Structure 1
């Protein structure tokens, strides 16, 4: 991987916050490269290897949930910096979807279009750079049968400016059934349009059905992407995490920071803006504060931020790849510092125990389909 790493990235991976000496910058860069490579994992039973932590691109171009309903050149540049910084720091998995930032989701510009543009520009500067791109098929009510999957995939490939995508996922279960969609995933693999396939927001029952349907064609179901964080552990409670472990399916965790609530940035007097404010209310943030305080204490012992501790907690669950959303380079650099070290088992269980005392936040209704 022909990448150039900055001192800033090395400090993200380091357990210490002492600035690196300029004379050893190249050694620091090599250490960051090695850490990223060692942290790569296979996605389920597929041959696709990805970094143990990825970057979610939900917010890129979006004006329906993120960015305070506004998108401008400043936010575009910040997203581009997030992309480049992630790669500089060794994080090369990016997750998007056809509905992120698209007109159907009241977005300003498609996240797929932005990700494709960023990747193309990066490869022009460094042809050997490795970027793993995951995107998703929207199971809209009027989309029926296996061919709808292929048609949507070709649209995504056009926006991404790719001939093949690394991971293609069904974004949520179909209202009218899923067999045709699963057949479509299999067709995409056999036609060489994707390297691996997965699902998202699938219950244990639907997950097993999809796994068995693809298995008959000799195609592994690589992943199930679900809402999973320290304060939203439904996958542990509804059998999804256990099924993923049993079947060899990687669990990709979206909203791993509970949409920012676990970063320590927000307090009862400073709650998230926009739609998130209806979930993470002053009352909820008050109940969350003891857990946040303990996360900060643990992080201080490692020279890590609360964000890095919370992401590491998910990595410690094994068979889990968190994909926090990075809106700028500062966030991307911080996320990279969540790998290359590990919480103790006692710390993992202590945080789970404390989080269990907090009433869980509301998830997404698609989980009930």
Structure 2
């Protein structure tokens, strides 16, 4: 059946400027990190992606590592792009990342010029497009000079294979250095992608939020729902089929009595506002002006629609923010593992 995008797709979702750039991104972006590999039905994945675009989510976040197997999420999106979204390519922001391990070869990991630019070539073929809009160094590589990693990002932009450069999972000091090198090359750092949530305050504690304002880049944050810990899914234990039973990024021991007590208190606050815990958690990260967009995933179109409605609620009051701080202290809540 021929897809035709919703006419009202830009009517409700807020768009935000990425740092000091001219680019705006939707307040919610869609990530294909999990559940978009070949282990999930194609039709279900397609339905979610197309519904995201109909809701105004024009930014789709990918990486060479996403699957399973590696690259499968990009290959899936490339098929949807070819079959359904090709007429709307100019309205899409496609991002991909390289540098995290995707194989045994030394050239399939790290921040070398060889690794990053070879991966980008594969990603362009996977996606079936001649450029991505944002190309990230997925993680810092201490074994590679930062100048080499930054030089690869600059080359990608100068060659027209990426429009903007980004970094992910970089500490503030290395981010500041990368931003300076990119600026000197005439390719300013557009965005940094860190993990940030009520249960993970490192962007605040490390000074990354302040640095974003200083260096003029935006933050596109991932795991704003802490792998499901900031939903009502685990308030009464671990249900059958839940992610915590089979994910390498969320283990059952994270769901302990301390977590449940704090999550229930946050859930009570959300219910008092007429929203869910997930909607509260999304609203919380988006309150920061440095946060350009929060990446969400979804296992269904309904779940995606539910997350988008987080933008409909009134701002959090000082008293509500204080209560969130009381029950969301990250050193008291076990955190999921790092992003792949």
Per-residue CA distance 1:148-201 (angstroms, 9 max, x = gap): 422221111110111111111011111412321111101111111111110011
User: What displacement does 1:293 show?
Assistant: 2.9
**SS state of the match for residue 28, structure 2?**
coil
Counterpart-to-counterpart distance in 2, 1:269 and 1:362: 17
Q: Report if aligned partners of 2:99, 2:115 keep a CA contact under 8 Å in 1.
A: no
Asked if 1:352 corresponds to 2:320, the answer is no
User: What displacement does 1:87 show?
Assistant: 1.1
Asked if 1:300 corresponds to 2:271, the answer is yes
What residue is the counterpart of 2:73 in the other structure?
111
Per-residue CA distance 1:59-85 (angstroms, 9 max, x = gap): 14448xxxxxxx143xx2222111011
Of the three residues 175, 182, 186, the one matched with 2:150 is 182
- Structure 2's unaligned 5+ residue stretches are none
User: What displacement does 1:313 show?
Assistant: 0.6
What residue is the counterpart of 2:198 in the other structure?
230
User: What displacement does 1:129 show?
Assistant: 7.2
Q: Report if aligned partners of 2:169, 2:193 keep a CA contact under 8 Å in 1.
A: yes
How does 1:6-45 map onto structure 2 within 5 Å? 30=8, 33-36=10-13, 39-45=14-20
Change (3 A) 1:77 1:302: farther
- Structure 1's unaligned 5+ residue stretches are 6-29, 64-70
Structure with the larger RCO, 1 or 2 (CA within 8 Å, 6+ apart): 1
Per-residue CA distance 1:90-117 (angstroms, 9 max, x = gap): 11211110011154x5xxx611111122
User: What displacement does 1:231 show?
Assistant: 0.6
User: What displacement does 1:298 show?
Assistant: 3.6
What residue is the counterpart of 1:137 in the other structure?
98
User: What displacement does 1:88 show?
Assistant: 1.4
How does 1:238-277 map onto structure 2 within 5 Å? 238-270=206-238, 272-275=244-247
User: What displacement does 1:215 show?
Assistant: 0.9
Change (3 A) 1:278 1:129: closer
User: What displacement does 1:51 show?
Assistant: 0.3
What residue is the counterpart of 1:163 in the other structure?
130
Counterpart-to-counterpart distance in 2, 1:208 and 1:127: 35
Change (3 A) 1:60 1:133: farther
Q: Report if aligned partners of 1:182, 1:214 keep a CA contact under 8 Å in 2.
A: yes
User: What displacement does 1:312 show?
Assistant: 0.8
**SS state of the match for residue 303, structure 1?**
coil
Counterpart-to-counterpart distance in 2, 1:129 and 1:145: 30
Asked if 1:343 corresponds to 2:305, the answer is no
> What's the TM-score once normalised by structure 1's chain length?
0.79
Change (3 A) 1:366 1:183: farther
What residue is the counterpart of 2:29 in the other structure?
54
User: What displacement does 1:358 show?
Assistant: 5.6
User: What displacement does 1:147 show?
Assistant: 4.5
How does 1:58-137 map onto structure 2 within 5 Å? 58-62=33-37, 71-73=39-41, 76-101=42-67, 103=69, 105=70, 110-123=72-85, 127=88, 130-137=91-98
